[in-house]
Amino acid sequence: NAGVTQTPKFQVLKTGQSMTLQCAQDMNHNSMYWYRQDPGMGLRLIYYSASEGTTDKGEVPNGYNVSRLNKREFSLRLESAAPSQTSVYFCASSPTKNTGELFFGEGSRLTVL
């Protein structure tokens, strides 16, 4: 049972480089989310997609872009990485946009030098 799959699991970037974090879910969920987790800050929502074809900003969207490629896939792009974006990134999905449980991937650890 794959659930939510994130790639890559680890990545080191230099300041100014770009990269895309990939996320795919095989549970036919409507809603997908990207969070970042930093020590002492908890999980903060970057962007979410309530349903296929829609995306909206979360709490900390600056420096990121997202694409809901189809119902399964939701990618997060860093156009010009900064050290402040060093974090662990989690993708999650939910069957509904209002009350459903969030299913998380295992996370992607990103370091920006």
Residues 44-83 that bind other proteins (CB under 8 A): 44-45, 48, 50, 56, 58-59
Q: Phi/psi of residue 18, each to 5°?
A: -115, 155
* 19 lies in the site for other proteins, by CB under 8 A: no
* 40 lies in the site for other proteins, by CB under 8 A: yes
CB burial of residue 25 (10 Å; 0-12, 13-18, 19+): buried
Q: For residues 79 and 30, give the distance between their C-alpha atoms in angstroms, rounded to a whole number.
A: 26
Q: For residues 41 and 37, give the distance between their C-alpha atoms in angstroms, rounded to a whole number.
A: 7
Nearer to other proteins, 14 or 42 (CB): 42
* Site for other proteins, rule CB under 8 A: 4, 31, 33, 35, 40-45, 48, 50, 56, 58-59, 90, 92, 97-99, 101-102, 104-107
